[in-house]
Each structure stands twice: as structure tokens, then as C-alpha cells.
Structure 1
């Protein structure tokens, strides 16, 4: 009986280690996919050199211009300088969404990705005003995302009551508000400068030299950030303000991105155009290169998905173009917004489960889409 127990114990120990090793192999090695020798390095180099780096370089320049015009406005708070500041913000924000899909690597900040830290919306106007009135407030010591970033700058330089209301806020006794504006923009600039410098330096080599597909590899980081960013457009720029999420009973127009400036629809168009560029491999300057389209065409069953995805993307572009011009917050409950959201939801499987399966790249982020 004792010998039998000893053998049984050895059997279970062996089985345990065999199972553990099997699980380890599954989690650490690339998923076997016949990609017919597709060179993932060409995709990574193209995306790095023609999309990621030039996009962050453009954002860096736009944020520098934002800081310059902000300093001018703080010194002389008149209508001319406010108009220049608003134009600089719109240019920087448009550039920001073009970088949004690249929220990994150097763009992963202590409080979250640069999109989460510098692009959160809606912001908390109550918290912001409290911070402004608190002379001892230290932004760098705050963990709140909804009191900083590009949308906080928007709130500070736009008003639903017009520019006259903004200028009133920057009249006599507005030093705290001016200091807050300056501090928020400085934080944005510091982070964007650091991200850009990292990509221009060693991280580009790190990103382009590893062609594995396992979790944490460059292609996995790019793909997962691409999919998550696409879902952010669908879930937070359309679904949430339109009142289409589970539990919502009506539209919530104040939750659109860029509520105060009213450029929400423009940002959605630019954002989705960037999504399409990454998938196609098109550079920031419009030059066609190697992207996920070519990668998919190299794997078995990929060509059919490419055709299916292209058709759906064309439908989405048409649907977004059909959303009435003007403030998205005024039209967020329209049938056109609902139609665009539905098409984006339909396409989620193409970008997510189907691509993930065909390319052998696991989805590493959590969501509630069920796709």
C-alpha cells in the first residue's frame, strides 16, 4: 500500500510539471501561423518610420506652438491672442488623435497611457475650478486624469457662451486660472517631448528589431493598441454620448469629445482616418507601405478578411460623412450617429477576433464588447 501511494505521488508530480510546462509553452511562444514567410520587420519599420515617429514629431511641434500662443495669451488676454490660442489648440488636438493608436512603449506613463492621461474626456469642471481656487494645488501630485490634459485646456479657453465669457475669466484677479492653464500645458509638452525623443532614439530599434508575435512583443503591442483605440472611438466618442451603452436611457451630449470647442466630428473623422492608415500601412504623408493588410494577405484565409474589412471600412467612412455638420453634441441622438456606431460595431470582429485568430496575436486587454 505504501509503495502504491509512492508511485501515485510520483505520477501526480510528473503530470503537474508536464501540465505546467505545457502552459508555459503556450503563453511564452509564438502561436503557429502559416504566414508564408511574411517579414513582420517590414511592417514594424514602416509603421515606426512613416506613421508613429512623424506623427509624434508633428504633435510635438503643435504642442510647442500651443505653449507659445498660451504664454502670449496669458501675458495679454485679448480677443486676438485668444483666437490664436484656440487655433493652436485645435491643431494640436487634431495631431493628438493621429497619435492616439500608439499608446504603448514610451507613451505608457505612470498614470496610464498618454491618451488616458492627456486625452481624458469628459473632464471634471468642478474639480478643475476647485484646483484653480486652491493656491496650494500641485498638479504633479494629483492622480486625477479629468483635471489635466488637452480637454482641460479646451475648457479653459472655450466657453459655450462665447469668447467674451472666456476673456472675462482672464480679467483682473485671474492669476490662478492663468497659472493652471500654464501648468497643464507644460505637463502636456513635457510628456509629448519625452515620448517623441524616446521614439527618435533607442525605442525605435527596440520596436523594429523584435518580430515575435507573443504577448508584449512589438507587433502585439501595436496590434492591441490599434484595436483598443478603434474601440475607444466606437465606445466613447459615439456610443457613450449617444446613450447607446447598456444601462443608459438617453443621449448624454455633454460627454462628447471636445464639447466646448465643438470640433468633435472633425476629430472622429481624423481619428478613424488614422485607424485606416495603420491597417493599410499608409504613412502620415499618404505614401502606401506595409501594414496589416499585407500581413493578412500573406496568411491562409486572410485575403477574404481583407476584402470584407475594406468593404466595411468604406461603409463606416460613408456613415461618418453622413453625420450632420456642426456640433456633434447637437446631433448625437441622430439616426446617422447610430448608423455609424452600428457599422463600427459590426467591424469590430474584423479588426479583433478575426485578425487575432488569423495572425496568431492574442488580445491582451480587457473589455466588455464580447467580440
Structure 2
């Protein structure tokens, strides 16, 4: 009789263990309202930021058309201003590589980002394309020859044998090719963002907020992973760590964001960090509004407010350090790289808090591996 009881208890234990394992892989074991969290993210944060970016892209396309129709330095300066405004708005949406956005390129980690902000730009591909007219912006080989970095070179850089940026469109033998190239790059960007906005304003919004699972295909899982991936790769590594030489023998000042404009890399980095802070705390990025359900409030619900406070404190310390840097990160790297590496160290300080502690608290598995070697 005793043996039968032990046998039955063993079976029950196995069933319970399997059930717990299934829960950890497919859903949440708490009653937090993930639908409300995803609704806040969709309606108050993601879609408004995407629509704002779409508007800034439209303004830049108009400035480009005015420049091409009347090529002069004044119109190039106006295009530069529109480029910067759109680039700043981009800092608020790069993080949202979800929905149709993640399917638009052959890079499964970067998705739509490759069409907007893969840097450093490969100038030789742009020059070859302008000379031959033979280029395909959808090809993998041209991912690093388009988007904002390509426009940065076209608007602010000086081509071989030229004296000023404007020469590309006036006295350069391939001036027509450069005009076509800048037109095609902006048209590509407009097409991509229009596709993404249409997806969110169509059926995707509802499917996003209703898919609360912690499984790999769940919206909540994807939001957590995209948030951490952008923080670790887009912000920490790309904007700070790679130029500072954290992943190489020597610093690489030519690998900063907006290298040719050369005086806005700090501004762009701070906007990227601002996006991280606001998404974490559930605050509107565009416009204003009270905080709503978010990663931070979820940690509160789980009685882990100390982790929430630690994460926000690390964000604040990082912001203060970045604010102290030169407006040009390439100049900062060359003149006092220690300050850049200190900013990287502060960014790194939140990686474990987010990638291990927060993800574990949310019962979410990380679906990417970091190849930066940290």
C-alpha cells in the first residue's frame, strides 16, 4: 500500500513540474494586466512616435525636393536642418523593431533599422552608385550605404576631388548621380516608414495588445527583448562603446553616429537614452502625458520596486555623464576618451539589471545573443 502511495505522489509531482515548466515558457504566473501595459505602449508611446517620425520624414523629403529643384547652399542648409529633425525623431522609434518592421530586411535582429541607421556608412558604395547609377538599396551589400548615415555624407561630407559638400551636386562629374542617389535614399526611407505606420494603424495594433504571452511570439516578450536589445546594442555599443574602443584595440572616432555633421552625436545619444527612460516608465515620448502601465509599474506590482529604482538611478547617472561629454563624440574620443569609457561603464551597469534581473522577474527569456564580446 505504501509503495502505491509513493508511486502516485511521484506521478503527481511530475505532472506539477511539467505544468510549471509550461507556464514559464508560455505565459505569466501573476495577474498583472499586461493588456493595459501593451495598450499604453501602443497608443501612447509607439504609434505617436512613429507618426511623428513619418511627419519629419515628409518634411525632409520636401526639403530635398526644394534643394534638387534649386541647388544652392541655402537650400542645402535647409535640407541639413530637416535631416537633423528627422534623425532626432528616429531616435524615438529605432527601438520599436516589432510587427512588420522586423520582417522588412534580411537581418533578423535589425529589421527595418538597416534602412535608416546602420553606421559607419560605406562611402565607396555611395560614390560607386552615383558614378554608375547601378545600385540596389534593398540588397544586403547596400544596408550600410543608405539611411541617415548616407544622407549625412551626402549633405555634409566632401566627395573625392571635391572641395565642399555642395560640389557633389554642382561641379562633380557625377552630380546627376548624386542627385538621384539622395532622392532614392529618402524615397526608400519614406516607403519603409509608411509601411510600418500603416501596419500599426491597421490590424497589428489589436493583435499586439492582445498577445500577452511570455513565449517567443508574444508581444510582451518581444517588447522586453527589443527594449534590452536596443539598450545594449543600439545605445550602449553603437553610440558609445564602439567609438570609445571598448570592443577594439584602439578607439574608433570615425565610427560615431552622424560623423560628417560631427557636432550632434551627443544630442542623438541623449535622445536614445531618453527613449529608454520613457519606455521603461511608461511615459509618452511625443507630447506629454502621465505615466501608465509599464515595465516600471510591473516591477512595482511584483514588489520589486528596489530594482525599478536601481534601474532609474543607473539611467540618471548615465545621462549626467553623457551630458558632460563634447557635442562631437569623435572629438571626445580623440581628446579625452576616458570620459567616453566612463559613459560606457555606466551604461554597462544597467545591462545586468535589465537583461538578468528584470527579464527574470517578468519570466521572459532573452532571444538574442550579444556578439560585442562583453
TM-score by length of 1: 0.87
Q: Is 1:101 equivalent to 2:95 in the alignment? A: yes
User: Shift of the alpha carbon at 1:187?
Assistant: 0.3
Judging changes above 3 Å, is the alpha-carbon distance between structure 1 residues 364 and 65 closer, same or farther for their aligned structure 2 residues?
Answer: same
Match of 2:353 among 346, 350, 353: 350
User: Shift of the alpha carbon at 1:140?
Assistant: 3.8
Q: Is the 8 A contact 2:318 2:346 kept in 1?
A: yes
Q: Is 1:42 equivalent to 2:36 in the alignment? A: yes
Match of 2:261 in 1: 261
- The 1-side partners of 2:37 and 2:373 are apart by 28
Q: Is the 8 A contact 1:86 1:157 kept in 2?
A: yes
Q: Is 1:341 equivalent to 2:344 in the alignment? A: yes
- The 2-side partners of 1:211 and 1:32 are apart by 9
User: Shift of the alpha carbon at 1:280?
Assistant: 0.2
Match of 1:308 in 2: 310
Match of 1:167 in 2: 166
Name which structure has the greater RCO, CA cutoff 8 Å, separation 6+.
Answer: 1
CA offsets per residue over residues 95-130 of structure 1, 9 Å max, x none? 111001101212111333111332100010111111
Runs of 4+ deviating beyond 6 Å: none
Match of 2:237 in 1: 235
Judging changes above 3 Å, is the alpha-carbon distance between structure 1 residues 29 and 116 closer, same or farther for their aligned structure 2 residues?
Answer: same
Q: Is the 8 A contact 1:111 1:117 kept in 2?
A: no
- Structure 2 residue runs of 5 or longer lacking an equivalent are 1-13
User: Shift of the alpha carbon at 1:68?
Assistant: 0.9
Q: Is the 8 A contact 2:158 2:168 kept in 1?
A: no
Judging changes above 3 Å, is the alpha-carbon distance between structure 1 residues 27 and 260 closer, same or farther for their aligned structure 2 residues?
Answer: farther
Equivalent position SS for 2:95: helix
- The 1-side partners of 2:312 and 2:133 are apart by 53
CA offsets per residue over residues 208-233 of structure 1, 9 Å max, x none? 11221111100011110000000121
- Structure 1 residue runs of 5 or longer lacking an equivalent are 1-17
User: Shift of the alpha carbon at 1:368?
Assistant: 4.0
Judging changes above 3 Å, is the alpha-carbon distance between structure 1 residues 141 and 349 closer, same or farther for their aligned structure 2 residues?
Answer: closer
Q: Is the 8 A contact 2:311 2:353 kept in 1?
A: yes
User: Shift of the alpha carbon at 1:131?
Assistant: 1.4
- The 2-side partners of 1:84 and 1:32 are apart by 50
CA offsets per residue over residues 53-108 of structure 1, 9 Å max, x none? 00110110111111111111111110110011000000000011100110121211
TM-score by length of 2: 0.87
Match of 2:80 among 78, 86, 96: 86
Judging changes above 3 Å, is the alpha-carbon distance between structure 1 residues 140 and 352 closer, same or farther for their aligned structure 2 residues?
Answer: closer
User: Shift of the alpha carbon at 1:298?
Assistant: 1.0
- The 2-side partners of 1:72 and 1:170 are apart by 13
Which piece of structure 1 moves more, 134-143 or 305-314? Answer: 134-143
Query: How many pairs align?
Result: 346
Match of 2:284 in 1: 283
Match of 1:319 in 2: 321
Matches within 5 A, 1:90-239: 90-108=84-102, 109-112=104-107, 113-141=111-139, 143-159=141-157, 165-172=164-171, 173=173, 174-232=175-233, 233-239=235-241
CA offsets per residue over residues 134-178 of structure 1, 9 Å max, x none? 1333434564311111211111111279x9701111114411110
User: Shift of the alpha carbon at 1:355?
Assistant: 0.6
Match of 1:69 in 2: 63
CA offsets per residue over residues 25-75 of structure 1, 9 Å max, x none? 649843554x3x210111100011111100110110111111111111111
Match of 2:26 among 27, 30, 41: 30
Q: Is the 8 A contact 2:117 2:148 kept in 1?
A: yes
